[in-house]
Structure formats: structure tokens, C-alpha cells
Amino acid sequence: MASNTSTAAPTSPLSFMTKLSQDIRLFRPASSPPPGHPKLILLASWMGARDLHIAKYIAPYRAQYPSTPILLIRSEIHHFLRPARCIAAIASLAVPILHSTFPSPSPSPSPSPSPSSPEPQLLIHLFSNGGSTMLAHLRTLTALPPHTLVADSAPGQFTYTGSFTALTAGLSGWTRTFAAPLVHAFCAWYWLVHNIFQRKVGGPLAAVAAAHNEREGRARGEVRRAYVYSEEDQLVEWRDVEEHAADAKAKGFVVRVEKFAGSAHVAHARRDEERYWGIVRETWGGGVVGSWRC
């Protein structure tokens, strides 16, 4: 006799968000955010991040800012293989959300902090080079309103080993064995792009990193930023992060650097949750003034 009992499909930890595409989701609460809260939170995840892991970063935001919409832009390997399609998706799905949330351009902050600098309206939190790349694409498509930025384990420069590790993270057994030659081929191609074809400009990842430090250009709307990183990160070299922060400070950005001890790539929140989310809150609110440098 056939059973009438049906097995329900497992619920995604991100099922509370509206799925606009395979890689872009939106959570829109019923009420509007109160004064002092972000009007929108933009989360740009690391490449290949699983729903469960992304949800762990969204949960504290929902608790802290329950009425703030959250826009998620994921990063996957196909975004690097076909960047034009990725940019087109961001243009058609993410940009309209930004325009509807911030209908008129807001004045950009002055190059140096001052009492007249506008309050941030958008909170951006990116992870690794995948999230950094998604934000760089977004910067090419639209001017962002006054915003704060938390850069977790980013931005880094290209290394063959780091790229291979990132692309095979989460793979094991026969899956890793089967995928390894394809991943090596991709890394070899990327090495050629960075070291031969685009050697003068440093390659795609250098261009992505540079986009975040265009004080009078694409990053004009930034109010302040924080870098969260560690020396133990096996995917992104900590010296690259500090070099980027120093360049940002020299160009007039308001910068805070927070080096964690003993934490792996995009695992700093797990190492010290209280410190990590304190940094996020202070980046938004401008607290702990002595930690900021311009």
C-alpha cells in the first residue's frame, strides 16, 4: 500500500527572503526603519557561501535593525567566468532596489570628517574578494548614498594557492578530485590575466580593490569603513588588507583596522562574536572615535 505521507522539502535558512534570482535576495520588513537605523543593509557574501553561513550573519542584523530591509548579493564562480552576466543581473535587480530606497542622490561626504558630514543611510558589509567584486560591480552601475563599509577578509590580491583554496572550499572526496583539474585550469588562466595580459594594471582583483579607494569617483559616498582581518587567513594576505587600508587613509577615507588573532578566512565573528559585532555597530554609529584614522 502506498503511503499518504509526503516528505516536506527542507526549508532554506534564507527562506524569509524574497528570491529575486539565484544569487540576489531581498528581505523587506513590514515596517520602515526608525531614525538612526540604516535604510538598507547590503550584504555581499564570499564566493560559494552556503545559506546556513550567510544566515548567521543576517540574524544579528535582524535583531539589531528589525525594520531595515536587507539586500543580499551572493558571489559564485560563474560570476568570475561570465562577469557581464553578473553585472547585468545586478543592474536589473539590485540597482532598482537602491534607487527605490534612495530616490534622490544625497550629497557626498567631504574628504575629511567634519560636523557637516551627512549621516550614513546605507550599511554595506562585504566578505572576501567575492563580496568585494560584487560591490565593485555595483559601484560601476550607480552612485551610492552616504554609507558605511565593513570589509571582512578583503580586499586581497591574486595568489594561485589562495584562489585554488577558495574555489575548492567545501568540496571533498570524489567531488574535489573531479573538480580539481577544472579549478587548476581556471587558476592558471587567472594567473595569466594578472601576470601577463593585465600586468600593468595588476589584474582584475587589483582593479576591484582600486574601485573602493576612488574618493572622488565611485567610492565618493562613503562616510567611514572598517577592515576586519587576521594574519592566519590562508586565502587573503593580511599585508594586502593593510596596504589597502593605508592607501584609503592617504586618500582621505575615514578608516579603522581591526586585526583578529587566530581566526581563519571569514571566520572572525566566530572567533570573537562580541568584538566583531561591536565593530559593525561602531562603524555604523561612528563610536570609539580614537579608533578611526583619516
User: Which structural domains are found in the chain, ordered by start?
Assistant: 18-100+119-157+205-287 (3.40.50.1820), 168-201 (no CATH)
pLDDT the model gives residue 292: 54
SS3 category, 106 = coil
Cell 560584487 found at = 134
Give per-residue pLDDT as tens, 46-96: 998 999 999 999 999 999 999 999 999 999 878 877 889 999 999 999 999
Cα 8 to Cα 241: distance, rounded to the nearest angstrom: 45
Cα 36 to Cα 70: distance, rounded to the nearest angstrom: 16
3-state helix, strand, coil in the chain (%, to 5): 45, 15, 40
Burial (Cβ within 10 Å: 0-12, 13-18, ≥19) of residue 2: exposed
**For range 6-25, the mean pLDDT:** 85
The whole-model pTM stands at: 0.84
Residues belonging to the chain: 294
Res. 206: pLDDT tops 60: yes
Cα 131 to Cα 125: distance, rounded to the nearest angstrom: 8
- Position 201, amino acid: V
pLDDT the model gives residue 77: 79
The whole-angstrom distance between residue 270's C-alpha and the CA centroid of its chain comes to 17
DSSP codes joined into one string, 161-185: HHHHHHHHTT--HHHHHHHHHHHHH
Of the candidates 156, 169, 289, 145, the residue with the CA atom closest to the CA atom of residue 219 = 145
Give per-residue pLDDT as tens, 118-175: 899 999 999 999 999 999 999 999 999 999 999 999 998 766 566 666 666 655 677 6
Question: Residue 221: pLDDT band by 50, 70, 90 thresholds?
Answer: very high
